Structure 1
C-alpha cells in the first residue's frame, strides 16, 4: 500500500513551518505521497495541492465569515480524498478553527493527527485543550510554557520544538553580534519599518508609520528602511517610498534586521525575528472595527500580543493596538526605546533570554513524523 500523508498549511506562515521539517520527512520516507493545502514552495517539492494557500487563507472574523461556504466545501473534499486514498497520517499546521474541526473528523476515520503549532488555548478557548487530548497523536508547541500547559490538561504527547525562525536563521544568529550597544548607534539612527505581510496590515499601518517618521525626523537625524513583502500589492507601498532611504524585500529580512538600530513593526511573527536579532521594536496592530468588536466582546485574554512579549510574559516591546496606535503614540513609544542608554540596553538584555528559549527540544521533527507514518502503514 502506498503511503499517503495529508498536510494542511493554510497560510504562508504554515508553509514556512512545514518547510522546516518537510525535507527530513521526505528523506526518511521517500516513497510517501504528500497532498493537501500549501503554497508554491511545497508544490515545488512535489506536494500535490488540492488547494493553494493563497485561496485558502483569510484574516480576521469578517473575512472568515465571508468564506464559510468555501471552507465547508473544502473540508468535505479533503475528507473524501483522505478516505479515497486510505490516508493514515495527517500533519495539520496552525490554522486553528479549520484544523481542529478537521482533526476531530480525521480521528474518527482512524487517521493519526500530528498537530504542529499548538493553538493559543491559554489565551482564549481553553476547551481546545480537551479537543486536542481526544484527537491528536502528537502536539508540537513552539512557545516554551505550552508543553506543560497542555500536558497538565491531558494532552499525552507534547513535544516542544524549535521555532521555525530559529531554524531559518540559526547560522546567521550564531555568528551575529547581538550585544547592541547604545554608544555604537550612529548619530543618524537607523529605523526599520516592518508594516506586515498582508495587504490589510500595510494599508492600515504604513500611513501611520510614515507620519511617525516625519515627526521623528523633525527632532533628530534618522535613516529609514522598509521591508516590502512580495505578498503585498505594490501599489500600497508606492505613495510612501519617497520617505524611505533603504528598501529591502522580504528575502532580505535578516539583512534588514542587522541594519536597523530599532524598528516599528506590525504584530506577527516578524516581532519574534526582531527579538532574535536583538532589535528593540514598537509593535503595532490595527484591524477592522468589526474584528475589534468581536475581540473585545468574546475574548477575555488581556496578556501581551507580540511573540517576544509572550515568550517572556512581560511587555519588553511597547504594544499599540487599534485606536491606541497613532503617529503620536508610535513616536512616543519610539522615544521610550531610544531615549536613553539604560532603556535601550535593558531591552537588548531581555531579548537574549528569548534567544535562548526559542530553540526548543533538540530532536529531528521530520524523523519523528516519518516514524509515525512508517508505524501507521506497518500496523
Structure 2
C-alpha cells in the first residue's frame, strides 16, 4: 500500500527531530507522500505543512497547563476537524502523550489509523494510563525493549524500533582522541561530572558533587575532572559555585556543552539521572548516578513510581549495573566511596564498557526506518514488523 497522506503531531523540539527522521524514512519509500499536522523547523524542512507553531504544545507544569488549557483544547479540536476532512492514511502522535493520546482516541474512533511514537513513562507511574492508550492507538512504537515488554503484557500492539541516540552515536569510542579534542591531559585518570541540565539539579546536587570532587582530588593527586555544563546558564552557576573551592581551580576543567566528548574522554562518570545516563552508557563509560530532589517530590515519587531503578542503563538491563545513590543516600561521603571503588577497579570498568557496548549495539536498529515500516503496516492493516524485519 502506497502512503499518500500522513498526519503528524509533535509537541517539542525532540519530537521535531524524531518526526523529521521518520518523515525522511517514509518519503524514501513513498516519494509522493504529503505531511500535515504540527511540526517544528526540521519537520517543515522535510515538507510538513504545520498548522500551529511547535511551541503551542510545549507547556510544562500543572499551573502552566491549566493556564493554557482553553487554547490547547481549541488546538486539539481544530486538528481533529482538519484530520477528518483530509482523511490521512495514518495519524502519528510524537511524544506529548497528554495532548496526543486524546487526539488519537478521537481520530481512531472516527476510523483513522493511529500510531504513537515514543512511549510515555507509563511503565513507571500512572500505569492506569495504559487502558486509554490501548483504546487510542493501533500501535505504540518504543525506544527501549522493556517498554515493549510492558505493552505486550497489557495487550497493546507494539514495536520496539530501537533508540535514535544509539543510531546517532558510534559503536567505537576513542578516549585518547576525545581528550585531545578537549585539550585534556592525555594520561592519568579522568572523571567526567554532569550535575544536570536544570537549575534545580544544580541547586540540589552542585555543592554535593563539588564536595565529593574536592575529597577525591586530595585522595588521587593525578585525578583530572571535566565538567561539561549543559547550557551557558548552568556554566555560570557552576563557575560561581567553583569560586568556593579554590583547591579545584587547577584540577577542574569547566566547559559548555560537549558532554559526549567529555564522557568518552573519561574513565568514569558522575551524573544525575535522566538522558545523561543513557548517553554515558552509549559512550560505554562506567558511571555513578546520584540524585536528590525536593523532599515533598521524593515523598510523592516513592509512592507513585513503580520501578526498582531510576537510571536507564539499569532499566534496560533489568539489573543493577550502575550504582544509584538517591536522596538521603546521595551524600558527598557516599559518592566519594563509590567513585573510589570505581576508579580503583580497572577490570570492573572494562567489563562495564564491554557490557554497555553490547547494549548499545542492541539499541542501534535504525529507529526511523523501523518506525516507518511499522507505520506502513498500521496503514495497510497488516501485522506489525517483528524482530527480524528490516
TM range (shorter): 0.7 to 0.9
1:289-308 aligned at under 5 Å gives the runs: 289-299=295-305, 301-308=306-313
Residue 231 of structure 1, CA deviation: 7.8
**Which residues of 2 match residues 9-24 of structure 1 at below 5 A?**
9-10=11-12, 12-24=13-25
Q: 1:291 to 1:141 in 2, by over 3 A?
A: same
Q: Counterpart in 2 of 1:163?
A: 163
Deviation at 1:310, TM superposition (A): 0.5
Tell me if structure 1 keeps the 8 A contact 2:25–2:368: no
For the residue of structure 2 that corresponds to 1:278, the secondary structure is coil
In the alignment, which of 50, 58, 80 is matched to residue 82 of structure 1? Answer: 80
CA distance in 1, matches of 2:52, 2:233: 24
Structure 2 unaligned blocks of 5 or more = 176-184, 244-248, 382-390
The alignment of Structure 1 onto Structure 2 pairs a total of residues equal to: 358
Query: How far apart are 1:50 and its partner, in Å?
Result: 2.1
Residues 3 and 373 in structure 1, CA contact (< 8 A), matched pair in contact too: no
Judged with a 3 Å threshold, the aligned counterparts in structure 2 of structure 1 residues 349 and 23 are, in CA distance, closer, same or farther, namely: same
Report deviation, 1:168.
Answer: 1.2
For residues 379 and 318 of structure 2, the distance between their equivalents in structure 1, rounded to whole angstroms, comes to 39
Between the aligned partners of 1:375 and 1:231, the Cα distance in structure 2 is 47
Cα 1:206–1:22, aligned 2, differ >3 Å: closer, same or farther? farther
The TM-score with structure 1 as length reference comes to 0.80
Aligned-residue offset at 1:272: 1.3
1:236 is matched with which residue?
Answer: 237
Q: In the aligned structure 2, how far is the partner of 1:328 from the partner of 1:42?
A: 47
CA distance in 1, matches of 2:25, 2:260: 24
Structure 1 spans left out of the alignment, 5+ residues: 179-184
Any idea what the Cα deviations from partners look like across 1:247-267, whole Å, max 9, x if unmatched? Answer: 4443x3332222111111121
Q: In 2, are the aligned partners of 1:225 and 1:248 still within 8 Å (CA)?
A: yes
Q: In the aligned structure 2, how far is the partner of 1:367 from the partner of 1:304?
A: 31
The residue correspondences of 1:138-287 to structure 2 (distance < 5 A) are: 138-156=139-157, 158-169=158-169, 172-173=170-171, 175-176=172-173, 188-220=188-220, 221-230=222-231, 232=233, 234-240=235-241, 243=249, 245-250=252-257, 252-287=258-293
Shift in CA distance, 288/72, structure 1 to aligned 2, threshold 3 Å: farther
Aligned counterparts, 1:121-140, within 5 A: 121-140=122-141
Normalization by structure 2: what TM-score? 0.78
Partner Cα distance (2:232, 2:373) in 1: 32
Bigger Cα Rg? 2
Deviates more, 1:353-362 or 1:268-277: 353-362
1:106 aligned residue:
107
Correspondent of 1:315 among 308, 311, 320? 320
Q: Is the 8 A contact 1:36 1:78 kept in 2?
A: no
Structure 1 Cα separation of the partners of residues 300 and 286 of structure 2: 30
* Residues 113, 135 of structure 1: 8 Å contact kept: yes
